[in-house]
Amino acid sequence: MNPSFYVKNIPVYGDLILAPMAGFSDIPYRCICRRFGMPMSYTEVVSVSGILWNNKKTYKLLDFNEEERPITFQVVGNDEDQITEACKRIEQLGPDIIDINMGCSVSDIAGKGAGAGLLKYPSKIAKIFKNLTGSLSVPVTGKIRLGWDHKTRNYLEISRILEENGASLIAVHGRTRSQYFSGSADWDAIAEVKQSVKIPVIANGDVRTVADIERIKKRTNCDGVMIGRAAIGHPWIFQYKDREIVSIDEKIEMIRYHLQCMEEYYGSSIGVILFRKHAVKYIVGMTNATELRPHLVKSKSAEETISHITAHMNNYSNYEAA
Ligand SMILES: Cc1cc2nc3c(=O)[nH]c(=O)nc-3n(C[C@H](O)[C@H](O)[C@H](O)COP(=O)(O)O)c2cc1C
């Protein structure tokens, strides 16, 4: 099998990538998606300050399984020197790639000039990438939005800067920061990025179905497609299967397995609680989901979760009409 693209010298064998998602794209879920053919992992975002302060929770987010390689550590920060120092430290933990988050829209982060807030400071981005690519041995990549707001859609300038300063890949979420998740992702803008640089470009935003995957590929000509929200509770998307064609039995089996992975990784009580937000996503679109949801978000044990699901799901016959 030929690689779909390379991140510098690292081959990536597949083009559908799970988006980094804080609270969702943890080791258990990434490994499930990898079993479904997802070819490279991104950690949830970690803060530069957490790294520099040796915060245990931050470092826990950088755990990965060897089978996840190539594994990308994603970092968010606003100060070029601190970002370099933090990335040098975490490079020691053995990631294959380090990614700088320039897309996070949360006020606490973007408002302080980190995440999408960095897009306001192109020359700072240039320095960050110059420093990082000059001092790290692993490839450095960037995940961006289209700009801060509709008046400052500087994605082409930022993409050029990233490439000129040694970035090995750009993932583009086709929205501005001020859009948060509203409106729709501008795939034509992503296509412009792809046309303007030689490094691989990953298209991201609003891919919900297999038809969307085909459409965004055609429209942007990108090297890969990154899927976020639509992959929660639906790892089958990485096998090019829509929700509607996954059988109830397959879903129940996956829910059991995912829950078991969560318990193994986090311990039983925390694993079950953290699984709740996944559980409600596995049942999206199914008849009776509204009745089942309140039980799932209160469930205190694996047995309880599974018995609610099996009891309800066995009554499901199909999906609600879209
Ligand atoms: C719950 C949640 C958490 C997210 N966390 C991150 C993150 O840690 N790093 C990041 O770059 N983007 C993060 N994002 C943005 C996604 O990676 C992605 O760019 C965005 O959801 C658009 O893709 P989608 O339309 O396929 O969901 C997050 C999104 C969601 C919904």
Among candidate residues 64, 23, 24, the one with its CA nearest the CA of residue 233: 24
CATH number at residue 18: 3.20.20.70
- Predicted local distance difference test score (pLDDT) of residue 71: 98
Given 191, 211, 239, the domain boundary residue is: 239
Catalytic annotation, pick one of 33, 87, 104, 222: 104
Q: How many whole angstroms from 128 Cα to the centroid of ligand 1?
A: 22
Whether residue 175 lies inside any domain: the answer is: yes
Distance separating alpha carbons of residues 104 and 178, to the nearest angstrom: 11
Regarding the beta carbon of 190 and ligand 1, being less than 6 Å apart is answered no
Q: Is the pLDDT of residue 322 over 50?
A: no
Whether residue 76 lies inside any domain: the answer is: yes
Given 177, 205, 239, the domain boundary residue is: 239
Please check whether residues 254 and 203 belong to one and the same domain. no
Q: Which residue, judged by its Cα, is nearest atom 10 of ligand 1?
A: 20
Please check whether residues 69 and 170 belong to one and the same domain. yes
**315 band by pLDDT with thresholds 50, 70 and 90:** low
pLDDT, tens only, 78-110: 999 999 999 999 999 999 999 999 999 999 999
- Predicted local distance difference test score (pLDDT) of residue 257: 97
Could you give the maximum distance between any two Cα atoms of the chain, in Å?
59
Please check whether residues 267 and 197 belong to one and the same domain. no
Pocket test for ligand 1, best of 16, 17, 18, 21 (most atoms within 8 A of CB): 21
Please check whether residues 181 and 255 belong to one and the same domain. no
Measure Cα distances from 5 to 35, 39, 114, 199, 302 in Å: 20, 11, 28, 9, 40
Please check whether residues 163 and 259 belong to one and the same domain. no
Residue 90 and residue 51 in contact, taking contact as beta carbons nearer than 8 Å: yes
Which residues, at least 6 apart from 60, have a Cβ–Cβ distance to it below 8 Å?
A: none
Q: Is the pLDDT of residue 318 over 80?
A: no
Regarding the beta carbon of 74 and ligand 1, being less than 6 Å apart is answered yes
Domain count, the chain: 2
Q: Is the pLDDT of residue 30 over 60?
A: yes
Q: Is the pLDDT of residue 298 over 70?
A: yes
Whether residue 321 lies inside any domain: the answer is: no
Please check whether residues 94 and 214 belong to one and the same domain. yes
Whether residue 319 lies inside any domain: the answer is: no
Whether residue 322 lies inside any domain: the answer is: no
Structural domain boundaries, residue 258:
247-313
Whether residue 137 lies inside any domain: the answer is: yes
Whether residue 101 lies inside any domain: the answer is: yes
Note if 222 is an active site residue.
no
Please check whether residues 204 and 260 belong to one and the same domain. no
- How far is the first Cα of the chain from the last one, in angstroms, to the nearest whole number? 36
Distance separating alpha carbons of residues 40 and 159, to the nearest angstrom: 22
Which residues, at least 6 apart from 66, have a Cβ–Cβ distance to it below 8 Å?
A: none
3-state SS assignment for residue 237: helix
pLDDT, tens only, 248-273: 899 999 999 999 999 999 999 999 99
Given 209, 239, 269, the domain boundary residue is: 239
DSSP 24: T
Q: How many whole angstroms from 311 Cα to the centroid of ligand 1?
A: 32
Please check whether residues 197 and 255 belong to one and the same domain. no
CATH number at residue 256: 1.10.1200
Whether residue 226 lies inside any domain: the answer is: yes
What is the pTM assigned to this prediction? 0.96
What is the length of the chain?
322
Ligand 1 atom with the smallest distance to the CA of 175 is: 22
